[in-house]
Chain A
Amino acid sequence: MKEYILKRLLLTIPTIFSLTVIVFLLIRLLPGDVIDAMSGGELSIDEGRRKMMLDRLGLNDPIIVQYGNWMKDIFSGDLGVSLRNAQPLREVFLNALPVTLELGIIAAFIACIIGIPMGIISAIKPNTLIDVFARLLGLIGLSFPNFWLATLLLLFASLYFRWIPGLTYIPIWEDPIGNLKQMLLPSVVLSFQLMAIAMRMTRATMMEELKQDYIRTARAKGLNIKTVVNRHAMKNAMIPILTIASVQFGYLLSGSVIIEQIFGLPGIGWFFLQGLLDRDYPVVQIMALFMVCVFVFVNLFTDIAYAYLDPRIKYSVN
């Protein structure tokens, strides 16, 4: 197992490296550059000045030199500076990271503590009122876009309670209560889809497991349904749930552009989008690299968790 984890960890290095190359090149393939984004459709910049600006920003350097400079910034830990406003990206990134992480973690937590038990109950008591309710909720969670839900909730809260969550981000270490008040509504909205997925997946796999012979045997020897579910069915049902949920969790952790913008939360997703629109290559690169790392490590964690949940799984280390 240790050897497997080590090998998987080593494999992440070429994966992340190749993804940095792809991200680096893809953003440069988009038409327009940071100067076009700044000048828009109203201003014009003399060609000579434009060239000088591109020279200074290092955008006229050979592509390999630009990539080398980026790697230098990454390994030195300062992450480079924004082309648009010369802000140090280490600071920008470290400010945005807690917002996104907190939002993602709270959303995932809400989704799991509601979605999984609801799926289990729904599987144990199929076609009852509670099952119908859970399935309906699952359908809503999957089909209603979260921006719509967010706008609706804000409209409702502002219209009937003259209240909306605080718009100025309060770090959790400054005011934990204020922070939670602010993060709860966006996290609930963000959790809806994952909650629905977790519920539906749990229900489906649990129903499948409950039909198995070993469950029948367990019931036949006199174990009650609670013990059967908790001790036997649950562990086996968790593998597909974990697979789907971890990918979704990856999405949550890598930032939600829309939710962040609607609730005015300056997180990774917002910076990524802004960087993309501004053609601020270093911003996009660093945010994309973070997202890549999130997915690589979430997948790694999922693979390792498989072995824990199902000891029959043996990994080939060759």
Chain B
Amino acid sequence: MKNKKLLFIIVAMSLLVIFSSKILAKTPKYGGEVTWGVEGDPSSLAPFGILMNYAQIGKQLGYDSLVEYDRDFNVQPALATHWENPDDRTWIFHLRKGVKFHDGSNFSAEDVIYSLTHMRDPTDLDATAASVDGFMPSIESFEAIDDYTIKIVTPAPDATLLGWFAWSRWGIITSKDFYKKFTPSKEVNGTGPFKLVKYIPNDRVVYEKNKNFWKSDQPYVDRITLKIIPDEATRIAAVRSGAIHGSRVSSADLIRPLENDPNIQIITGVTGQTRVFQISVKGDGKPWNDRRVRQAMSMAIDRKDLSNKIYGGKGTLTGPVPDAWGVYGISQNELRQNIYLQHNPDMARKLLASAGYPNGFEISIMVPTNQQYEAIGQVVQAHLAKVGIKAKIDKRENAQFGAAYRDGSYELFVNAQGFRLDPTGKLNHWGAPSKAPQKYWYDYPKGWNDEALKVMFDKAVSTFDLLERSNIIKEIQRRVIEEATFVYLVNPERLDILNKKVNNWYTDFIDFNQPLRTIWLD
């Protein structure tokens, strides 16, 4: 009897220890300093203007917007606690009270008005601040109803507005007169979980915990340093040595030796970074104005081979909107069934012959000078050669690439389309030309045009019902894949390597290291 009692106590104690350790393991711990490796210099931390992704990675810890995406990609309240639509063009945002900026000033409607004014047109702020044409939703007017209520009116019903703020890339909220009171390129005054300590270009960005953060239980770590390390091998060595806590890597091959490292965890997942061939139409539009040619190119490409050779097999099929994007993406199953995404060189040759190119033709593929994109160009070059399309790889560094993109002096280019505010942001090449970031295709004389698609696009922007909206967006994608207006390649998984002490990291679909805001250390 006594033994039974003892056994019971031992079992009960063991269970308690096991369960409590499980519970404890999930309870975030406070404190500690994190150093994170980032690939490029932010260059500027200014809140508005055409700043590229490293700028957003550099500043996102300090800023918030009206709403935010959670890790499951749902829009959640942030600086706005709730919102309502009295009609389909009007948005009333109720702002959070008691929020303080990092300089101690109170957040109120006048800060939102200041930020909205300048995110829409930042050109009066500094020389390099230009508005982000093609992405920001049209806004007819906005006003403060009182200190904590904002009214925004759009010229037409626009379901993308919440996505714009949740994306926060160019839609963050800063304090009134920020550009007058601070040095925007190297100072931050937001309401975010971390306060900027210093930014040393090409070296590091240091943040410390914002003790007055409006989410009173966050952030967990005391300090985050973003260390700029462009060299991937160095970042991997730094994680392995413990010099940094984690970093993104692009090469699956390089991290294979880390798979059995007891100190390292590898986290992979899909983001919104589709790899795509974008086409430019010049002169008489040939050969790209014939859809059989475009379809032949799409069918000539072996996407599985591309994924295996460049992404270690971690690249999935994709349409314009990645399948992991909530209800908006076409499923992998459906994409696999789509004949235009299947590798079919025989059909590709037939299509080329019927279009009048039995012996193929010569093309030039512009790629950014980056190992990954050059490799995509080379793999695809080999695929196209098998159907008679002789492709020349034209490597351009970033500014050259940007200049060619601007004036249309290219034929085809390989690009990564990052996450955009809303699924319609991934389709805006086919929507209203005023929104299209790339003008040398859509509506270009003798280029490609599809009035029905334009109507569908406008409907997708103005439809609020989720199911109806997702159906329209999927329909547009099916049409774009069939027309092969751009040739979508693969959507590679993001790879992050982390020290095992790091908790609460996840693959962030938006791709700006958002999880840093909520990580904690063992």
Say yes or no: B233 contacts A41, CB within 8 Å: no
A39 at the binding interface (Cβ < 8 Å)? yes
List residues of chain A with CB within 8 A of the CB of B417: 42
Instruction: Tell me the residues in window 384-427 of chain B with beta carbons closer than 8 Å to chain A beta carbons.
Output: 397-406, 413, 415, 417-418
Beta-carbon contacts of A69-105 to B below 8 Å, as 1s and 0s?
A: 0000000000000011111000010011000000000
Closest to B263 in A: A162
Q: Tell me the minimal C-beta distance from A71 to chain B in angstroms.
A: 21
Instruction: Tell me the residues in window 410-449 of chain B with beta carbons closer than 8 Å to chain A beta carbons.
Output: 413, 415, 417-418, 436-439
A157 at the binding interface (Cβ < 8 Å)? yes
Say yes or no: A278 contacts B43, CB within 8 Å: yes
B131 at the binding interface (Cβ < 8 Å)? yes
Say yes or no: B225 contacts A33, CB within 8 Å: no
A56 at the binding interface (Cβ < 8 Å)? yes
Beta-carbon contacts of B197-235 to A below 8 Å, as 1s and 0s?
A: 000111110000000000000000000010111110110
List residues of chain A with CB within 8 A of the CB of B243: 164, 166-167
Q: Tell me the minimal C-beta distance from B201 to chain A in angstroms.
A: 6
Say yes or no: B204 contacts A41, CB within 8 Å: no
Q: Tell me the minimal C-beta distance from A275 to chain B in angstroms.
A: 10
A35 at the binding interface (Cβ < 8 Å)? yes
Q: Tell me the minimal C-beta distance from A42 to chain B in angstroms.
A: 7
Complex Cα distance, B234 from A151, in Å, reads 7
Complex Cα distance, B438 from A163, in Å, reads 47
Complex Cα distance, B243 from A166, in Å, reads 7
Complex Cα distance, B242 from A162, in Å, reads 7
List residues of chain A with CB within 8 A of the CB of B237: 154-155, 157-158, 164
Say yes or no: A37 contacts B399, CB within 8 Å: yes
List residues of chain B with CB within 8 A of the CB of A42: 415, 417-418, 437
Complex Cα distance, B352 from A140, in Å, reads 53
Say yes or no: A38 contacts B52, CB within 8 Å: yes
List residues of chain B with CB within 8 A of the CB of A262: 231, 233-234
Say yes or no: A84 contacts B43, CB within 8 Å: yes
Say yes or no: B244 contacts A85, CB within 8 Å: no
Say yes or no: B123 contacts A52, CB within 8 Å: yes
Say yes or no: A270 contacts B130, CB within 8 Å: no
Q: Which of A45, A85, A166 is in CB contact (< 8 Å) with B43?
A: A85
A44 at the binding interface (Cβ < 8 Å)? yes
Say yes or no: B127 contacts A86, CB within 8 Å: yes
Instruction: Tell me the residues in window 238-265 of chain A with beta carbons closer than 8 Å to chain B beta carbons.
Output: 261-264
Q: Tell me the minimal C-beta distance from B43 to chain A in angstroms.
A: 5
Say yes or no: B202 contacts A44, CB within 8 Å: no
Beta-carbon contacts of A95-138 to B below 8 Å, as 1s and 0s?
A: 11000000000000000000000000000000000000000000
List residues of chain A with CB within 8 A of the CB of B126: 86
Say yes or no: A264 contacts B227, CB within 8 Å: yes
B454 at the binding interface (Cβ < 8 Å)? no
List residues of chain A with CB within 8 A of the CB of B359: none
Q: Which of A38, A52, A86, A164 is in CB contact (< 8 Å) with B241?
A: A164
B281 at the binding interface (Cβ < 8 Å)? no
Instruction: Tell me the residues in window 234-267 of chain B with beta carbons closer than 8 Å to chain A beta carbons.
Output: 234, 236-238, 240-244
- Asked, given contacts A37-B398, A157-B241, A266-B203, whether A86 binds B128 with beta carbons under 8 Å apart, the answer is yes
Instruction: Tell me the residues in window 24-59 of chain A with beta carbons closer than 8 Å to chain B beta carbons.
Output: 30-46, 49-50, 52-53, 56-57
Complex Cα distance, B243 from A45, in Å, reads 40
- Asked, given contacts A34-B128, A57-B127, A164-B237, whether A271 binds B402 with beta carbons under 8 Å apart, the answer is no
Say yes or no: B402 contacts A53, CB within 8 Å: no
Say yes or no: A39 contacts B230, CB within 8 Å: no
Q: Tell me the minimal C-beta distance from A79 to chain B in angstroms.
A: 15
A217 at the binding interface (Cβ < 8 Å)? no
List residues of chain A with CB within 8 A of the CB of B127: 53, 56-57, 83, 86
A277 at the binding interface (Cβ < 8 Å)? yes
A169 at the binding interface (Cβ < 8 Å)? yes
Q: Tell me the minimal C-beta distance from A265 to chain B in angstroms.
A: 8
B75 at the binding interface (Cβ < 8 Å)? no
Say yes or no: A41 contacts B368, CB within 8 Å: yes
Say yes or no: A158 contacts B437, CB within 8 Å: no
Q: Tell me the minimal C-beta distance from B13 to chain A in angstroms.
A: 37
Q: Which of A36, A96, A164 is in CB contact (< 8 Å) with B403?
A: A36
Say yes or no: A169 contacts B51, CB within 8 Å: no
List residues of chain A with CB within 8 A of the CB of B502: none
List residues of chain B with CB within 8 A of the CB of A30: 399-400
Say yes or no: B242 contacts A53, CB within 8 Å: no
Complex Cα distance, B24 from A174, in Å, reads 41
- Asked, given contacts A44-B133, A45-B50, A154-B233, whether A53 binds B204 with beta carbons under 8 Å apart, the answer is no
List residues of chain B with CB within 8 A of the CB of A227: none
Q: Tell me the minimal C-beta distance from B46 to chain A in angstroms.
A: 7
Q: Which of B123, B202, B415 is in CB contact (< 8 Å) with A49?
A: B123
- Asked, given contacts A57-B127, A83-B128, whether A36 binds B406 with beta carbons under 8 Å apart, the answer is yes
Complex Cα distance, B460 from A195, in Å, reads 66
List residues of chain A with CB within 8 A of the CB of B50: 35, 38-39, 43, 45
Say yes or no: B130 contacts A41, CB within 8 Å: no
Closest to A38 in B: B50
Closest to A264 in B: B229
Task: Give the one of B43, B417, B439 with max A CB within 10 A.
Answer: B43
Q: Tell me the minimal C-beta distance from A263 to chain B in angstroms.
A: 7
Instruction: Tell me the residues in window 115-154 of chain B with beta carbons closer than 8 Å to chain A beta carbons.
Output: 123, 126-128, 130-135
Complex Cα distance, B201 from A278, in Å, reads 14
B158 at the binding interface (Cβ < 8 Å)? no
B41 at the binding interface (Cβ < 8 Å)? yes
List residues of chain B with CB within 8 A of the CB of A92: 201
List residues of chain A with CB within 8 A of the CB of B204: 168
List residues of chain A with CB within 8 A of the CB of B225: 168
Say yes or no: A31 contacts B418, CB within 8 Å: no
Q: Tell me the minimal C-beta distance from B432 to chain A in angstroms.
A: 13
Closest to A59 in B: B127
Q: Tell me the minimal C-beta distance from B238 to chain A in angstroms.
A: 6
Say yes or no: A85 contacts B238, CB within 8 Å: no
Q: Tell me the minimal C-beta distance from B4 to chain A in angstroms.
A: 49
Q: Tell me the minimal C-beta distance from A96 to chain B in angstroms.
A: 8
Complex Cα distance, B186 from A84, in Å, reads 12
List residues of chain B with CB within 8 A of the CB of A40: 52, 398, 401-402, 405
Say yes or no: B203 contacts A279, CB within 8 Å: no
Say yes or no: A31 contacts B405, CB within 8 Å: no
Say yes or no: A45 contacts B133, CB within 8 Å: yes
Complex Cα distance, B185 from A85, in Å, reads 6
Q: Tell me the minimal C-beta distance from A48 to chain B in angstroms.
A: 10
A274 at the binding interface (Cβ < 8 Å)? yes
Task: Give the one of A31, A41, A162, A270 with max B CB within 10 A.
Answer: A41
A159 at the binding interface (Cβ < 8 Å)? yes
List residues of chain A with CB within 8 A of the CB of B227: 167-168, 264
Complex Cα distance, B413 from A62, in Å, reads 34
Other A-B pairs beyond A40-B402, A167-B227, 4, CB < 8 Å: A36-B403, A39-B406, A43-B132, A169-B203
List the 7 closest pairs (A to B, CB-CB), nearest first. Answer: A32-B399, A36-B402, A32-B403, A85-B44, A158-B237, A37-B399, A56-B127
Question: What are 6 A-B residue pairs whose CB atoms fall within 8 Å in the complex?
Answer: A41-B368, A86-B128, A154-B233, A158-B236, A164-B237, A278-B399
User: A residues bordering B, Cβ < 8 Å?
Assistant: 30-46, 49-50, 52-53, 56-57, 83-87, 92, 95-96, 151, 154-155, 157-159, 161-164, 166-169, 261-264, 266, 270-271, 274, 277-279
User: B residues bordering A, Cβ < 8 Å?
Assistant: 35, 41, 43-44, 46, 50-52, 123, 126-128, 130-135, 185-186, 200-204, 225, 227-231, 233-234, 236-238, 240-244, 278, 368, 397-406, 413, 415, 417-418, 436-439
